[in-house]
Structure 1
């Protein structure tokens, strides 16, 4: 974090959109109903404080919600750096690696029988996993969250190809715009109208059925055209808060909605 006097403060957190989706799901679901490939070999790949936080979400005497690598490759867990300077945010991976696809997951994993599959990857990698899904006996529902480094016009064509096969498309408000060239972006000055316009006039036209835009302290925007998910229409929703932990808006980061 860049302070007003231009000094910096560092803070290490568990993160990633996939992780926060799993952590949020724990409000309603037991650990054995959720699973996520973690990318490391074991909890020893994490600093003690972070390993403890990861363990709290899990239950040791049931099926673990974390899927560790079976081969001890010596590589560390995926790490990224997010820099905040006022309302500006930059993102980069510190140890980038190729995203996982379904074909990389061991055939014995419970992932292959999941009701919902949440992907956070470039659209080209999602295409590979969608092809693998065709070999499944049942149809898992697909949630797609684009990876920040792949949110650019270079990936627009691949995104256009996969969106009709995605059940829920969930970018954040920055990623929503970045697939378009600057000359093609919607010029609305009003933040909320701009987000709504992208969903209604761009992404639904590309085949997106249900869109959930995560906009941090600006709330979340849902635009649904799939009757299987309930009411057809759109609306803005505030963050979910448990009764015992009411949080001030000022404590929610603008870009990601992460609470400090």
Structure 2
């Protein structure tokens, strides 16, 4: 049986460097040890918050340098989630450099990119939902491959890679949009692609979402656009319907709960994929699951904790369903 959610995002070991404005190393309270990273990893954990481990998965290219502590941590979420491939070249690593308020991200080892064919012959073959993070040009290559795989008809969630969210990439994006079911940049990325001025506002975000619909998301314009907008929430646009907003679970009123937003957008989309299954394909309702998912990711540095209590699975000691009920109630009251 094929799984519900599979991602083509990579597993990355994140390393860190902290510099002052002059470029000199500084001491910091942030952990300096390598951390579990990668957009695919966070997206998979996002889906796992709602689904069983057997319904979620990704390929991890594991080198001989793969820390046993990371493998044990990943196993806590369900060993069956992870399809390991041993690589003599080593595990993909990246350096996150923080210099003042600026963060840069650079690969320090060769990347091993995944394509749909890599899922063939694994339990991730022909997933119900397929997620990927890449440039528009690579998205076209991925979708061409999907179309040539027999029996593959996944719901496709496409997350444009941040550094390609520039006006020069818009034409390439337009070419692939008809093959995408759900397009989900964040607000700054959406504005970058469309040459909209910054900072984003609710009005400009709604305009951006409608513009992407106009450009042809989904076959015959049947796709959806979800623009992730931090504390403002998420803007959901579908043809024939007014734009609608799903609130963020944690907002600026809960600053003590917002520790590290790394991976929040990736996990949001994993949570969305799970929400689509649990809400019978309703994109708007599924976005509430996505918003709750992100709330568990930003509460700490790194991945959330999973535990069992009275037969229920808890994340960071709390129930995703409880948060979902609260968020839906909040939306009605708003």
TM-score in same-fold range (> 0.5): yes
2:82 — aligned with what?
A: 66
Kindly indicate whether residue 244 of structure 2 is the aligned counterpart of residue 234 of structure 1.
yes
1:165 — aligned with what?
A: 179
1:253 to 261, 266, 280: 261
* More off after superposition, 158-167 vs 191-200: 191-200
- The answer for unaligned runs of 5 or more in structure 1 is 241-245
2:67 — aligned with what?
A: 47
Give the TM-score of the pair, scaled to structure 1: 0.75
- In 1, the alpha carbon distance for the partners of 2:226 and 2:236 equals 7
| Shift in alpha-carbon separation, 1:118–1:85, aligned structure 2, 3 A | same
Kindly indicate whether residue 238 of structure 2 is the aligned counterpart of residue 225 of structure 1.
yes
1:198 to 193, 201, 208: 208
Q: Which has the higher helix share?
A: 2
The answer as to whether partners of 1:35 and 1:65 remain within 8 angstroms in 2 is yes
* Aligned-partner SS, 2:78: coil
Q: Which has the higher strand share?
A: 2
| Shift in alpha-carbon separation, 1:65–1:163, aligned structure 2, 3 A | same
- In 1, the alpha carbon distance for the partners of 2:87 and 2:65 equals 12
| Shift in alpha-carbon separation, 1:107–1:186, aligned structure 2, 3 A | closer
The answer as to whether partners of 1:123 and 1:146 remain within 8 angstroms in 2 is yes
| Shift in alpha-carbon separation, 1:190–1:206, aligned structure 2, 3 A | closer
- The answer for unaligned runs of 5 or more in structure 2 is 1-17, 218-222, 266-297, 302-334
Kindly indicate whether residue 105 of structure 2 is the aligned counterpart of residue 91 of structure 1.
yes
Give the TM-score of the pair, scaled to structure 2: 0.60
Please give the root-mean-square deviation of Cα atoms over the aligned residues, in Å: 3.3
- In 1, the alpha carbon distance for the partners of 2:208 and 2:50 equals 31
Which one scores higher on RCO, CA 8 angstroms, separation ≥ 6?
Answer: 2
Q: May I ask how many residue pairs the two structures share in their alignment?
A: 238
1:113 — aligned with what?
A: 126
